[in-house]
A and B are shown apart, each in its own frame.
Chain A
């Protein structure tokens, strides 16, 4: 269509101009515009990915580059699938992802639902609520370490003030029971606004006339919520869950700074294990295999999820 327009123009105009228009074809221009991005991604993402796949079949160690590299076949993968520590890390990750997403979805949706009432000043307060999610999780997460300090930390102080537990006993980061929750709290504080913002878009996309029709039918508020609001906002909620799920599955920065995976390995999520194996024990081949497994897992789960999301959308 466009090509034809351009050609017609070219034919209708005098020679030199026509030449200029034909000078670089649309097809050529398209590739000229797209190829730099593709080349960059091939160099920085795809080539390293293939390198990692190659390394995952070897016993290569990055701190001993001169040692002879042995081909191990699938041994790394077999060892990972039988490694107790890896399974514990996966469970820790699942626990973290499950609770953060549950809390963020429930709180985020509730906030969005309230903001949708459009009370006076809602735009200003919405902006305030959005601030935490724009900040660096590492830099702000690091400061939460201070808020969590027993006694002197503000968070611990407030908790001991409210509950009456002696201030020295509120050990959010060094208590085995509490440390996973300390991370869940910071993540929820930071990312609830994200879910809220997407849910708000979902709620605002519901046309008024549907509610008006429900009013005519004398549907109760409860009924309207369950059969209009929630189902129509569901694709948006699911989208928010997808984005948060992927991000939290990859979670590294906040956990690394808050607990470093400790105490012991109670907060050691998959990314922390990966870092310990790759950059502390220098088991490059082994950790590459683990990285590939993680990548396949995220990719596979995300794909299944997107299919479900599209089904909900089409309904």
Chain B
């Protein structure tokens, strides 16, 4: 009856819903402009990308992608004319700028490094994490709380602080700038997340299932394998995606501990330069290719997101 009832949180009024909706949609649209701009820039030519005022409407071009995947050298028009017809789209695009393709760029190897290191470390972290989480969830481990806190506390260190001794240790062990070294390091960082998340998921699986399986004659190990694991699949998958995203996005360790053969995409992308400065369409193209998998994963994960970002502290 009264105004307060109409506006209460118990039943938000149509009006308050509408205003809330408008503000949220406006925020969402503004906040994705930078991402849309990355996508748009990747299809601009270098002159279009640095036009003033910034161009919203432009002729799409694949030059950014061509520049991302190749290295080029400047040649005289006479030399370019002396070559046969262009062998492909990129070849033709590049020749218009008086350049010829000199070879592939480092983007593909760096991207492959990112894949190897991210998947390798995710597999290890989830494997170790599942075992430990089961151990902490089902057995009386002495000092369990202290151990769990110890596992988490390894995340309090600033990455640069960790990188100093790791740098020295890897130099001694010959692990500097190797995929194995990076996999070990990312596994160590991710395992804390994996243990905490998976412990939450496994805690939610009723113990009765295993007890029933064990009464049926399974050993504890078999019961774990045949009843707990299948039930924890969703949790394991969500945990794996979180680990994957962390390893995929990580920059500080990669920038300090890798320089060549094992360098991942995040430290590589900012170094893409063209003639006279940063080649923004190529950077945007690399960024776009780099971000797409994460976008897909974010949509897949949206129900588990809250749990993942709070180390399982908040569950819905």
Contact = CB atoms under 8 A, between A and B. Distances in A.
The finding on whether chains A and B are genuine partners in a shared complex, rather than unrelated, reads: yes
Interface of A: 2, 5-6, 9, 13, 17, 20-21, 23-24, 26-27, 29-34, 36-38, 40-41, 43-49, 51-52, 55, 62, 111, 114-122, 125-140, 142-147, 149, 151-154, 157, 167, 189, 193-194, 197-198, 200-201, 204, 208, 211-212, 215, 218-221, 224, 229, 236, 239, 243, 246, 249-250, 252-253, 256-257, 270-271, 274-275, 278-279, 284, 287-288, 291-292, 294-295, 298-299, 302
B24 A221 contact: no
Given A136-B266, A201-B316, A295-B156, A129 B165 contact: no
Given A55-B165, A257-B270, A252 B283 contact: no
Given A6-B220, A257-B270, A270-B158, A127 B164 contact: no
Interface in B213-272: 214-215, 217, 219-221, 245, 248-252, 255-256, 265-267, 269-270
Interface in B117-167: 128-129, 131-132, 134-136, 138-141, 147, 150-151, 153-167
Contacts of B49: 152
Nearest to A5: B211
A154 B37 contact: yes
B245 A134 contact: yes
Contacts of A252: 158-160, 251-252
Q: Is the interface of B mostly helix, strand, loop or mixed?
A: helix
Nearest to A23: B219
Given A117-B17, A201-B306, A294-B158, A189 B31 contact: yes
Contacts of A119: 17-18, 20-21, 24
A135 B159 contact: no
A94 B129 CA distance: 34
16 contacts: A2-B138, A17-B217, A24-B219, A33-B134, A40-B128, A45-B157, A139-B270, A144-B34, A146-B41, A146-B283, A151-B52, A152-B50, A152-B52, A215-B5, A220-B4, A295-B157
A272 B30 CA distance: 30
A46 B188 CA distance: 11
Given A37-B128, A274-B158, A121 B52 contact: no
Given A45-B188, A137-B251, A215 B8 contact: yes
A139 B54 CA distance: 21
Given A34-B141, A287-B164, A157 B54 contact: yes
A176 B309 CA distance: 34
B35 A131 contact: yes
Contacts of A270: 158
B17 A118 contact: yes
A288 B162 CA distance: 9
A29 B8 contact: no
B269 A278 contact: no
A49 B165 CA distance: 7
B86 interface: no
A48 B175 CA distance: 14
B53 A157 contact: yes
A274 to B, nearest CB: 5
A278 B214 contact: no
B266 A120 contact: no
Interface stretch (B61-69, B71-79, B100-108, B297-305): B297-305
Contacts of A257: 251, 270
Given A51-B168, A139-B287, A211-B9, A9 B215 contact: yes
